[in-house]
Structures are given as structure tokens and as C-alpha cells.
Amino acid sequence: MDSTIVQSTKTWRPEQVLDHLAARFESLTPELRKAATYILENPSAIGVSSTREIAGAAKVKPNTLVRMARTIGFDGYESFRKPFRAEIIAGRENFPDRARWLQSLAKGGALSGLYGDMAEAAIGNVEGMFAGTDAGAMRAAAKDIAAARATHVLGVGIANVFARNFAYLAGMAIGNVTAIPQDGSLPIDGLVQARAGDVLLAMTFKPYRREVVEAVRQALDQGVTVIGMSDSPAAPILTHAKHRFVIPTQTPQFFTSTVAVSAFLETLIAFVIADADAAAVANIERFHDRRHALGVYWKDGDAA
């Protein structure tokens, strides 16, 4: 047990306590992980709910919360819960339930309210991302990308388009940024040539994709710096990542909302370019000058 943690928590912010718990998540027993997962995904409930209520919601015994707190360096659950004032980070319902809910709205003629719900969720996710992301942490991740020999951007399924877009835009400025997996390959195939000093920017959202989790583990074994993006502090790709970012993805729909994901990556690219050397700006200008010279862009007066 780390007594220095117990002594210093009075000055900790709730986010620091959550980060401390997330960093030790993998070392916990399966039962303690159940408690930790609920706390990581619902921090605002910790300060206002009783131990018994939290244990019931997490489906563990009240004493499990005490053991979890002591395992990570607190003198008990009451000591652990004091710093918690953060806003709720709620887990989404499962996909089938969302789909059935949407269908019930359609049957009841209530779809007019869906427009407002979608707008509220989208705005809330973007606000939550900027409020919950530390600019210094983002800049530190951007510095590693700008300084890397090579950066691999990993996303599958719904995240694949964001990985490709990030690689495309960042690649204009600094080069050596590639999206994986390539067509017809596995994510781990794209890491064959990766080595210490490279960066892997990986993202996966509930339900987590196995191939992304396995690729992150392989990258760590190869000494690659990992930047992880997910929708829960308990996500397996964040456990040992050097840079960890939690992106809100709540939605009244059945699919994952990606509005805040896009906003985060756009901002990260801006930080990468800001921290890159002067050649980055020259590379972007040269890219667009070439396109203008080749007539790629439409100009007024061109024949339709």
C-alpha cells in the first residue's frame, strides 16, 4: 500500500484519483475490477451515494469497495470518496436496447423529440470532451507525435474513418503518419516495423474491439509510445497507455456518437502542427500549391 497516496489525497482533484485508480486497474482482482469499473464510469455518484448503494449498483459487496480503496493506497472507502465532485461519466446502454427504444419512439409518433435529443447529446459530448480534457495532456501527446520517427493511427469499424482522416491531415505536415489496418490486413500487421520511439494512436469504444486491444499490447511490447482514446477510463487500451483520453460518446441513438471524437482529433492535429518545426507549415503549403498547379481545385470560370 502506498501511504504517500493516503496522505496527499486531500489536495487531489477527483480526476487525479480516477487516473490513479485507472493506472492500477489491471492489477486488481476480478471482483475489485467490477467495483473500479463502476466508479470510473460513474464518479459523480460516489460523492452522493452510500457505500451500500454504490455496491449494489456495481453488483459487489460493500466490503469490496473498502478492499478496492485500500488496495490502491487509501485507508478506506471514506477516504477514497472524499475528492469526488466530478460530473457523471455514464456508460451507454447496450446496442439492442437503444435500437428497441428508437423503434418504440417511431411507433408512438415521438420522433419529433429525437431531433432535440440528438442536438443535446452532440453539444453535451463536445462540451464534455473539452471540459474533461487537459490542454497540457493533449499538448504532451502532440509533442510525442511531432517528434516520432513514425506514427501509426489505429481505428477499426466506426473509428476507421477517423484514423484515416487524422493520418491524411497530419501527414500533410509531418509525414510518416499512417492509418492501420491497411486494406486486407490486421492491425498488428501494421506494427511489424514499429519500434521504440514510434507512436501508436489507438481508439476503440464500447464494445471494445479485440484486435485493437491486442495491437496496443503488441505495441507496448515493442516499446512503442501509446496514445489511447476511449469512452471509459476502464477501457483496456488505456491501462498502460502513456497518454489516456476519455471521449464522451453518449447518444439517444443505438450507434456510438463520434462528434466529440472528431473534435478531439481536430484539436490534436492543431497541437501537432503548432509543436512541429517550421518545415511542417512549408509542407502544407507545398501540398496545396501542387494541387492548385495540377488543377485539382475548382475555380470560378471552369467549365461545368
Reported as a single tens digit per residue, the pLDDT across 25-43 is 989 999 999 999 998 888 7
Does residue 96 surpass a pLDDT of 60? Answer: no
Average pLDDT for the chain? 83
Residue 222 has what pLDDT? 95
14 pLDDT exceeds 80? no
State the average pLDDT over residues 283-297: 74
134, 243 Cβ separation under 8 angstroms: no
220/144 Cα distance (integer angstroms): 15
Given a cut of 90, whether residue 114 has pLDDT beyond it is no
**Predicted pLDDT of residue 199:** 97
Report d(CA 226, CA 282) in Å as an integer. 28
Q: Rounded distance, CA 201 to CA 190, Å? A: 12
Where does the pLDDT of residue 91 fall: very low under 50, low under 70, confident under 90, or very high at 90 and above? very low
Indicate the SS3 state at residue 245: strand
Q: Element (H or E) spanning 76, and its range?
A: none
Signed CA dihedral, 113, 116, 122, 124: sign only: negative
pLDDT of res. 41: 85
181-203 residue pLDDT tens:
988 788 898 899 999 999 999 99
Domain covering 3-81, topology: Arc Repressor Mutant, subunit A (1.10.10)
pLDDT on residue 301: 63
User: Is 189 within 8 Å of 206 (Cβ atoms)?
Assistant: no
The CA R_g of the chain, rounded to the nearest whole Å, is: 22
The structural architecture, per CATH, of the domain 130-292 is 3-Layer(aba) Sandwich (3.40)
pLDDT, tens only, 71-87: 998 888 888 887 763 33
Whole-structure pTM over 0.95, yes or no? no
Lowest model confidence (mean pLDDT) among 8-22, 93-107, 156-170, 227-241: 93-107
259: Cβ–Cβ under 8 A, 6 or more apart, which residues? Answer: 122, 125, 126
Reported confidence tier of residue 179, pLDDT bands at 50, 70, 90: very high
Q: Coil, strand, or helix at residue 112? A: helix
Domain-by-domain residue ranges, the chain? Answer: 3-81, 130-292
For 46, 171, 270, 280, the CA distances from 297, given in Å and listed in that order, are: 54, 20, 23, 22
C-alpha distances out from residue 38 to 17, 53, 59, 301, 304, Å = 14, 12, 9, 60, 58
Q: Are 260 and 129 in contact (CB under 8 A)?
A: yes
